[in-house]
Amino acid sequence: MTIAISIKDLRKTYANGFEALKGISLEVKEGDFFALLGPNGAGKSTTIGVISTLINKSGGSVEVFGRNVDTHVYETKLDFGVVPQEVNFSQFEKVQDIVMTQAGYYGLPRKLAKERCEKYLKKLGLWEKRSDRSRSLSGGMKRRLMIARALVHEPRLLILDEPTAGVDIELRRSMWKFLTAINDNGTTIILTTHYLEEAEQLCKNIAIIDEGNIIVDTNMKKLLAELDSQVYILDSQEEIARSPVVELENVNVRSIDSHSFEVTVAGGRSINEVFALLDQQGIQISSMRNKTNRLEELFLSRLNDN
């Protein structure tokens, strides 16, 4: 399979002496939906800045679809689109002009640029706003505009730096749907996010970066399988007189209130076994959720280990 991004021994030391990247190596396969996670200041945005040539690296190499970004500047830039963390378009320009201008930078003829502009503004729900000045857009619309702008030249690789930060839940979910669809159509996506639920929902592979080092680089399913125990909150439609009796090894049940209780399942036990016992006691469960995000638990434990 083609490698979309290959990073080798990437280093970045800023002018003030801060060492943001300490020789990281990473590979992202074509078609992947890849999460790059890490706490604030870990080096996520620096990594993305170096890949997208907005930040000069201090050492190492970056290849995009097999081509070195230093020696094949123009070819590699055609292959990726970038959605930065901060809004970086002119606040005085119209929505349509921002996308059309970006298309022009990539050499798209005007007719094709217009078609693409319409296509992506419609897909991202901004077509009605096309003649508005960008400063009048809401925060969520500005983020969607940056995605439309990054996609106008239809890159093979889309790099998103916290695309849903500060976006409401409804909009976030519609963006997830959109990103999943373009990934299904073959676009490789690299995503940094603070919403671990987002990474868990969307991404196939994951790397965690901390203090300029990659501390985890694995498959999302494999990583989640490493969880020793999971804590669920179960809600019952009817009032529960007393705490349910679940006599299973490695399973612990604790009552929260008259309708809810907490179940901790560990040691390879399945939650289905708990459901079966509850059913025998006549307790009907109406809803179930994880007490904490599974990836969040792993993320915190890995950071603590590091």
Q: Report the interface residues with another protein, using CB under 8 A.
A: 14-15, 49, 52-56, 73-75, 77-78, 80-82, 84, 86-92, 97, 101-102, 104-110, 149
Cα(67)–Cα(197) distance, rounded to whole angstroms?
33
75 or 184, CB closer to another protein?
Answer: 75
92 or 170, CB closer to another protein?
Answer: 92
Closest CA to 81 of 57, 38, 51, 61: 51
* Cβ pair 187, 156 in contact under 8 A: yes
92 or 257, CB closer to another protein?
Answer: 92
Token output for 213: 């080092």
Task: State the minimum distance, in angstroms, from the CB of residue 209 to another protein.
Answer: 18
Question: Buried b vs exposed e over 25-59: b needs ≥16 C-beta within 10 Å?
Answer: ebbbeebbbbbbbbeeebbbbbbbbbbbbebebee
Residue with the two structure tokens 């123009």:
74
Burial class (CB in 10 A: 0-12, 13-18, 19+), 107: exposed
152 or 253, CB closer to another protein?
Answer: 152
Task: State the minimum distance, in angstroms, from the CB of residue 80 to another protein.
Answer: 8
Q: How many CB atoms lie within 10 A of CB 7?
A: 22
Cα(64)–Cα(41) distance, rounded to whole angstroms?
24
Task: State the minimum distance, in angstroms, from the CB of residue 74 to another protein.
Answer: 4
Task: State the minimum distance, in angstroms, from the CB of residue 54 to another protein.
Answer: 6
Token output for 110: 């005007």
Cα(292)–Cα(14) distance, rounded to whole angstroms?
36
Task: State the minimum distance, in angstroms, from the CB of residue 185 to another protein.
Answer: 22
15 or 225, CB closer to another protein?
Answer: 15
54 or 181, CB closer to another protein?
Answer: 54
Task: State the minimum distance, in angstroms, from the CB of residue 5 to another protein.
Answer: 15
Closest CA to 51 of 24, 88, 16, 89: 24
159 or 216, CB closer to another protein?
Answer: 159
Task: State the minimum distance, in angstroms, from the CB of residue 51 to another protein.
Answer: 10
What distances in angstroms separate CA 284 from CA 74, 84, 109, 252, 297, one per listed residue?
Answer: 61, 47, 62, 18, 28
Task: State the minimum distance, in angstroms, from the CB of residue 137 to another protein.
Answer: 15
* Cβ pair 189, 82 in contact under 8 A: no
80 or 261, CB closer to another protein?
Answer: 80
Which helix H or strand E contains 76, and what residues bound it?
A: helix 73-79
